[in-house]
Amino acid sequence: MPFELDVAEHRSYLLRYARLQLRNDAWAEDAVSETLLAALSRPQAFDGRSQLRTWLVGILKHKVIDCLRSRRREVALDSEEGDGSAELEALVFRADGHFAAPPADWGDPERALASRQFFEILELCVQKLPPAMARVFLMREWLELSSDEICKELALTPTNLYVQLHRARLRLRECLDLNWFHTPSAP
Amino acid sequence: MILRRTCKEAAALLVAREDRALSLPDRVALRLHLAACEACPRFARQLQLMREAFGRWRQQAGDDAPG
């Protein structure tokens, strides 16, 4: 199969990831188009040692970071209030600092990690984060940028960054708890 | 140095630990709390599973068969 077709086959996959990261269809299309162009213009850069998709995702990450960089002003964080974090905390903890309900045993991690459905739910949960919070979280967990880099890119203070990551993690935990670990058993 | 922490505080430290180093008093307080608490070690295991899941997710971004 010609290299162009091989590369094009991964387009929808790359687009899904770019959308998740950028929360903007037009930007995601751009990032993916640039990724495909970069790949097709330098096929010799693919040495075949890694999988083609791994290589493409590597290029896409750079394009996503470029986009975040140039759109810096458009990715301002939500205001501290009104993102529902206080409500979530009140659900999980009682006023005296005890858990409202003891955390569930999530069971065997290997079972979850071996399940494709688990990762579909994980992605859904990330999608349900407020967009700016998701962006910060994904810059850390998916793009693997350092705290310093994220603060610089988004003009955040470290404190603000940690607050956003903290809230994102609490929400994701809650979402997974609800949608994976407490799935009602079949009737 | 107050070493007694509520579950809410201990859980907050566990989440914070995912992204930054804790101070020594916080580390000590957390260890003491975890040794005495039933709920928080479960919370800690949930976070650990999430950490592993995100590691796996990152890998899958490259390794999956085309879907």
Quote ipTM for the complex.
Answer: 0.88
Environment class of residue B38 by beta-carbon count within 10 Å: exposed (0-12), middle (13-18) or buried (19+)? exposed
State the best of B14, B38, B47, B57 to mutate against chain A, taking most chain A CBs within 10 Å.
Answer: B57
Q: Which amino acid is at A53?
A: R
Q: Which range has the top average pLDDT, A27-36, A68-77, A85-94, A147-156?
A: A27-36
State whether residue B50 sits within 8 Å of chain A by CB.
yes
**B14-53 pLDDT, tens digit each:** 999 999 999 999 999 999 999 999 999 999 999 999 999 9
Q: What is the pLDDT of residue A91?
A: 78
Give the 3-state secondary structure of residue B57.
helix
Q: Which residues pair with A93 in a beta bridge?
A: A99
Answer yes or no: do B58 and A141 touch at CB < 8 A. Answer: yes
- The predicted structure's pLDDT at residue B60: 74
- Rounded Cα distance between A73 and A30, Å, is 18
Nearest CA in chain B to A140: B19
The residues with which A99 forms a beta bridge, in sequence order, are: A93
Min mean pLDDT across A32-41, B39-48, B51-60 is at B51-60
CA dist A98 and B8 (Å) reads: 6
Q: How many domains does chain B have?
A: 1
Residues of B in contact with A118 (CB under 8 A): 53
Rounded to whole angstroms, the Cα distance separating B15 from A178 reads 18
| pLDDT (0 to 100) of residue B65 | 42
> Does A182 score more than 70 pLDDT?
no
**Lowest mean pLDDT across A89-93, A169-173, B43-47:** A89-93
| pTM for this entry | 0.77
Nearest neighbour of B53 by CB, restricted to A89, A122, A162: A122
pLDDT at B61: 65
Chain A hits for B29, CB-CB cut-off 8 Å, are: none
Task: For chain A, give the mean pLDDT.
Answer: 84
Judge whether residue A19 has pLDDT over 70. Answer: yes
Look up the CATH number of domain A1-73.
1.10.1740.10
Cβ A173–B47 below 8 Å, yes or no? yes
B38 within domain boundaries: yes
Q: What is the CATH number of domain A85-180?
A: 1.10.10.10
Q: How confident is the model at residue B6 (pLDDT cuts 50, 70, 90)?
A: very high
Residue A104 with chain B: CB contacts under 8 Å: 42, 46
The answer to whether residue B54 neighbours chain A at the CB level (below 8 Å) is yes
A169 contacts in chain B (CB < 8 Å): 15, 18, 47, 50
The residue behind tokens 């579950």 is B7
Residue type, A58: G
In a domain, B1, yes or no: no
Give the model's confidence band at B1: pLDDT under 50 very low, under 70 low, under 90 confident, else very high. Answer: low
Cα–Cα distance measured from residue A162 to residue A168, given in angstroms and rounded to the nearest whole number: 10
Residue B5 has pLDDT above 50, yes or no: yes
Identify the band that residue A73 occupies on the pLDDT scale cut at 50, 70 and 90. low
pLDDT digits (tens, 9 = 90+) for A105-147: 888 888 889 988 889 889 889 988 888 899 899 999 988 899 9
Q: What are phi and psi of A94, to 5 degrees?
A: -80, 170
Whether the pLDDT of residue B67 is over 60: the answer is no
- Domain extent at residue B30: 7-64
* Any domain includes B47: yes
